[in-house]
A and B are shown apart, each in its own frame.
Chain A
Amino acid sequence: MKRKGIQQMSWKGLAAFTVLILILPFLLSTSLMITKATFAGIYTIVAVGLGLLMGFAGQISLGQAAFYGVGAYSTAILTATFGISPWLSLLIAITAPALIAYILGHTMARLHGYYLAMATLAFGIVIHVLLVEWKGFTKGASGFYGIPKLELFGFTFTQGISYYYLVWAFALLVIILSLNIIHSRIGRALRSIHDSEVASSSMGVDTGRYKMQVFIISAMFAGIAGWLFAHMSYSISPGSFGLDGSILFLTMVVLGGSTSVWGAVFGALLITAISSFVQALGSKISFITSDFEHVLYGLILMLVVIFLPQGLFPAIAAKLKPFLEFTGRKKKSGSITAVKGDQRA
């Protein structure tokens, strides 16, 4: 039902994006590019969760890569060491980060100020140390080998097009769930906290509770991404789950913009593209190393914060809007609704 006055979810945007995802593998020429596009999907899942936390709960997590790592390592250990089905360990890969987030958030006196950023930073470091040192379980810094592939009804998802579609199916699910959340009473409550915490609490919104719930959801999404990552690769190592990774996710969200779900998606895609491009350059030019990549992300982060604090996506959406309205069919009525809806969703 079309309702006047609500910033509505843009089903058209979602449909267009889905089509793009479906046809993308046919446009990519090499298997390396398909792998990169698969990674983009995994990162999207983490970034969308972090985007919800930053844009809607107003909190920053510097430990998202650690949740991602908890998801990856818990499934790796459960499946390779204990022989549990990967589909069963998916549940653990989701609930373990959620539980950690609950404990972290709870001890942080219901998430005020920058305490969560500090706590997640420390948590990220602890997890990294654990992954390196707890060799009995994690096999240490050299990495964990022998993670089984995912199988469903006799079909094996191997790295390549099938895994690409699997990852993006999860990513689209995460996007849809997130869009549903922000367009619900919870979403409105979260957005209201962002604009005036005193007013939203006097409307009866338990601000601490919703911040906590979003934090938990962001951890669950990271856990799903970790699970996907582990079963995509034969091996994982602690290097993927350190502070670098957390900063990378943060950069994605800041670059794309945290005030909409699509901003985080856009940021994840863009950073993956930039990273692939830099790595391709690196194979030709000797001074472009992975350190160079980090400097580049730092630079991007600074420039965006200074010049486009809302992120790239809102700016691009605003630029595209007149064009879309000009070429597309004009809406008959409730044009304000339509315009706002497109922007928000």
Chain B
Amino acid sequence: MPDLLEVKNVTKKFGGVVANQGVSFSFESEKVIGLIGPNGAGKSTLFNMVSAIFPPTEGEIWFAGKRIDRLPAFKVSPLGIARTFQNLQVFKRMTVLENVMVGLHTSTSSGILSAAFKLPKAKKEEETIYQQAWEEIEFVGLEDVAAVEAGNLPLGKLRLLELARALATRPKLLLLDEIAAGLNHQETAGMSDLIFKVRDRGVSIFVVEHDMDLVMRVSDRIIVLDQGEKIAEGTSKEVQNDPRVIEAYLGNDEEKEEGTV
């Protein structure tokens, strides 16, 4: 059985800037893997490649035994990868429920003509979409704002909405891109509980996070990036005691991080 996600020697260059250099790692199903590193370490770039927003310059990415690094993003989603966005990409002019319903797009198939003529298949699918979207809304606890246009929601609710929408795609692998950014303590605690609940559904989770408390608590294993390269990988304890990680975070020079290890 192949690993769920395999990143093989991936390099990404933007013009002359090397964002990732020779990064390799892999992980198996039903785990929570953390990805940390100082600002500019290349975490977001790596995330964008795994979710096929853009392809790597070199190297390969495999998901569930299938090479995905040359696929367009919309073809990766049906394979079982979903993500949230650090800089919130909600559909602002749609209601919360409708946002989540978009997440069910690929699990349904009726086309534009059956939609136009309201054929029985489209109607039946619409019912399924509605029911399943509600389940996700309830899972993250957004029932009371389900009918609100997403653009009117506060940040905390939007993060939950992105989670619900990603879950609606029925992912095997969920990428959480700084899901706790901007949340208060209570909200962050709620989010880490949710992450465990998601894992218990059998979903593997890949977490990029600046909130060290959160990432240490939820992750089975942590990968550390610095200046585009992987410098450490291990349990939270191993990583915290790794001299290279300490150096990357605390540094010899002035490039200090606000987060503490």
Do B82 and A187 touch (CB < 8 A)?
Answer: no
8 Å CB contacts to A: which residues of B61-111? 72-78, 82-83, 85, 89-99, 101-106, 108, 110-111
Residues on B with beta carbons closer than 8 Å to the beta carbon of A188: 94, 98, 101-102, 105
**A-B contact sample (16 more), CB < 8 A, given A185-B105, A195-B90, A203-B82:** A5-B95, A5-B97, A7-B95, A185-B122, A188-B101, A191-B94, A192-B102, A196-B89, A198-B53, A198-B85, A199-B90, A201-B73, A202-B82, A203-B103, A214-B112, A340-B147
| Cross-interface CB contact of B147 among A5, A185, A198, A204, cutoff 8 Å | A5
**With contacts A188-B102, A199-B90 known, is A204 near B95, CB below 8 A?**
no
Chain A CB within 8 A of B126 CB: yes
Interface of B with A (CB < 8 Å)?
A: 51-53, 72-78, 82-83, 85, 89-99, 101-106, 108, 110-112, 115-118, 122, 125-126, 129-130, 137, 146-149, 165, 169
By CB atoms of chain B within 10 A, which of A187, A189, A204, A334 has the most?
A204
Q: How many Å lie between the Cα of A8 and that of B126 in the bound state?
A: 13
Residues on B with beta carbons closer than 8 Å to the beta carbon of A31: none
Chain B CB within 8 A of A99 CB: no
> Can you give 25 A-B contacts (C-beta < 8 A)?
A6-B95, A6-B101, A180-B116, A181-B116, A184-B110, A184-B126, A185-B115, A185-B122, A185-B129, A186-B112, A187-B115, A191-B93, A192-B94, A192-B102, A195-B91, A199-B91, A201-B72, A201-B73, A202-B53, A202-B74, A202-B77, A203-B103, A205-B74, A207-B74, A337-B147
8 Å CB contacts to B: which residues of A175-225? 177-178, 180-181, 184-189, 191-192, 194-196, 198-207, 210, 213-214, 217
**With contacts A180-B118, A196-B90 known, is A201 near B108, CB below 8 A?**
no
With CB as the reference atom, state the residue of chain B lying closest to A189: B105
By CB atoms of chain A within 10 A, which of B53, B92, B118 has the most?
B118
A-B contact count (CB 8 A): 132
User: What 1/0 mask marks residues of chain A from 128 to 149 whose CB sits below 8 Å from any chain B CB?
Assistant: 0000000000000000000000
Residues on B with beta carbons closer than 8 Å to the beta carbon of A177: 116-117
Q: How many Å lie between the Cα of A207 and that of B102 in the bound state?
A: 12
Chain B CB within 8 A of A4 CB: yes
Q: How many Å lie between the Cα of A201 and that of B125 in the bound state?
A: 20
Residues on A with beta carbons closer than 8 Å to the beta carbon of B126: 184-185
Chain B CB within 8 A of A126 CB: no
A175–chain B nearest beta-carbon distance, Å:
11
B203–chain A nearest beta-carbon distance, Å:
16
Residues on B with beta carbons closer than 8 Å to the beta carbon of A259: 93
A257–chain B nearest beta-carbon distance, Å:
13
Chain B CB within 8 A of A299 CB: no
Chain B CB within 8 A of A305 CB: no
Residues on B with beta carbons closer than 8 Å to the beta carbon of A178: 116
With CB as the reference atom, state the residue of chain A lying closest to B48: A198
With CB as the reference atom, state the residue of chain B lying closest to A5: B97
B208–chain A nearest beta-carbon distance, Å:
15
Do A189 and B147 touch (CB < 8 A)?
Answer: no
By CB atoms of chain B within 10 A, which of A5, A7, A195, A340 has the most?
A5
B41–chain A nearest beta-carbon distance, Å:
22
Residues on A with beta carbons closer than 8 Å to the beta carbon of B137: 5
Do B105 and A203 touch (CB < 8 A)?
Answer: yes
With CB as the reference atom, state the residue of chain A lying closest to B91: A195
Chain B CB within 8 A of A280 CB: no
**With contacts A177-B117, A189-B102, A340-B147 known, is A200 near B91, CB below 8 A?**
yes
User: What 1/0 mask marks residues of chain A from 1 to 23 whose CB sits below 8 Å from any chain B CB?
Assistant: 00111110000000000000000
Residues on A with beta carbons closer than 8 Å to the beta carbon of B165: 203
**With contacts A5-B97, A198-B73 known, is A205 near B105, CB below 8 A?**
yes
B247–chain A nearest beta-carbon distance, Å:
35
By CB atoms of chain B within 10 A, which of A4, A185, A186, A217 has the most?
A185
Residues on A with beta carbons closer than 8 Å to the beta carbon of B99: 192
| Cross-interface CB contact of B74 among A185, A191, A201, A337, cutoff 8 Å | A201
Residues on A with beta carbons closer than 8 Å to the beta carbon of B103: 203
